[in-house]
Structure 1
Amino acid sequence: MTHYIYLVRHGEHQDAEHGLVDGPLSPRGRRQAALIADRLSGVPFDAVWHSPLMRAAQTASAVADRMPSLSPQPSALLFDCVPTGMTEETPAVFEPFFGSVTEAEIEAGSAQMEDAVSEFLVRKSGEVHELLITHNFVISWFVREVLQAPAWRWMTLNQANCGLTVLAQRKGRPWALVSHNDLAHLPFELRTGLPEAPPV
């Protein structure tokens, strides 16, 4: 018996180009959401959780439209956040990123992700399938946690809009990374949100 966690980054939102915090899905984001919903339609989900932000909630709605038996639930533990600040190990190239991030935001993000790991990366009995629709940095932190990588490594793990990452834990074994940022369901023109464009 295996516990699976499916991590999906929300679809592209309309205000992404303008630097705004949140907004509805763009037309391209709605297409991304529909395609990830199709991709996941055969999974027998036990629960679907999403960030309360609009772009994640609307992505979750697209999944529910495809699988009407599901009732996605918001979780404040899946909000967009910054999990850490600069550490002694963090390469200096990342320093400019933290210029606009406050200590309070970092403290809140660190506490949130500690709680999120305690809430979601906990083995449940039986065969379990859970879907978490959230944000790039949150998924990065979960992957870093499973790999037991240094804290700063979350900054090197990026997910495209509606990319699929799967974690799994079999009884008596540690969590494993099954797949990361799988984009097979998205045509090339819908692969958005990465710092660098992925290869064809």
Structure 2
Amino acid sequence: MTHYIYLVRHGEHQDAEHGLVDGPLSPRGIRQAEHIADRLSGLPLDTVWHSPLLRAAETARAIAERLPAVDPMPSALLFDCVPTGMTEDTPAAYEPFFGSISDAEIEAGRAQMADAVNEFLQRKQGEVHEVLITHNFVIAWFVREVLGAPDWRWMTLNQANCGLTVIAQKPGRPWSLLTHNDLGHLPMELRTGMPDPIPA
């Protein structure tokens, strides 16, 4: 019996192009959410968790509309956050990113993700199918955790809007990464949200 977690980045939101932190889904984001809902609709989902931010809550609502037996629930452990600062091993190219992030924000993000890993990466009994609708950095941290990669490597793992990442654990085995940022359910014109690469 396998425990599956389906990690989904929220759909594109209307205020993204204006640099605002949150906002409702854009028309394109609504379509993205509908497509990921269709992708997940054949699964025997037990739970759908989502970040309390509006863009994640509206993505969860789109899934619930197609899966009426599912009642999405917010979790503060899935808020957008920055889980680490610069480390000795972090490439210098990432320094500008951290220039606008306070030590308090990093400490809060580190604590949040430690609690999130303890909460969600605990093996549950039987066959389990959970969806977590959250943010780019949060998904990157989960993938980094599953792969046992150095802390700073979350920065190299990016997710598109409504991309699908799947991790799973069989009894007696470690967590495994089954797929990362799968966009097969999205038409090309709906593939958005990948951060710009850091210049070399």
Same fold (TM over 0.5): yes
> CA-to-partner distance for each residue in 1:138-183, whole Å, 9 max, x for gaps?
0000000000000000000000000000000000000000000000
Provide Cα deviations, 1:121-140, integer angstroms capped at 9, x if missing partner. Answer: 01001000000000000000
Partner of 1:186: 186
Q: One-letter code of the match for 1:95?
A: E
Aligned Cα root-mean-square deviation (Å): 0.8
Equivalents in 2 of 1:66, 1:196: separation in Å? 32
Q: Aligned AA for 1:11?
A: G
Q: Secondary structure at the match of 1:100?
A: coil
Residue 160 of structure 2 corresponds to 160
- Which residue does 1:81 correspond to in 2? 81
3-state DSSP class of the match of 1:7? strand
How far did 1:195 drift? 2.4
Structure-1 separation of matches of 2:109 and 2:196 = 25
Question: Corresponding residue for 1:151?
Answer: 151
Q: Aligned ranges for residues 13-162 of structure 1 at < 5 Å?
A: 13-162=13-162
| AA at the equivalent of 1:7 | L
Q: Which runs of 4+ in 1 moved over 4 A?
A: none
Deviation at 1:196, TM superposition (A): 4.9
Letter in 1 for 2:167: L
> What runs of 5+ residues in structure 2 fail to find an aligned partner?
none
Give the alignment's TM-score, normalised by structure 2.
0.97
The code of the aligned residue for 2:111 comes to: A
Partner amino acid, structure 2, of 1:89: D
Secondary structure, in 3 states, of the residue corresponding to 2:44? Answer: coil
- Within 2, Cα distance between the matches of 1:37 and 1:87? 38
Letter in 2 for 1:92: A
Aligned residues: 197
- Deviations 1:46-85 (CA, angstroms, capped at 9, x unpaired): 1110000000000000000000110000000000000000
Q: Letter of the aligned partner of 1:125 in structure 2? A: Q
- Provide structure 1 residue ranges, at least 5 long, that are not aligned to the other structure: none
**Secondary structure in 1 matching 2:33:** helix
Deviations along 1:27-54, one digit per CA (max 9) or x if unpaired, are 0000000000000001111111000000
* Equivalent AA in structure 1 for residue 127 of structure 2: E
Identical counterparts, % of pairs: 79
Letter in 2 for 1:93: A
With the length of structure 1 as denominator, give the TM-score of the two structures.
0.97
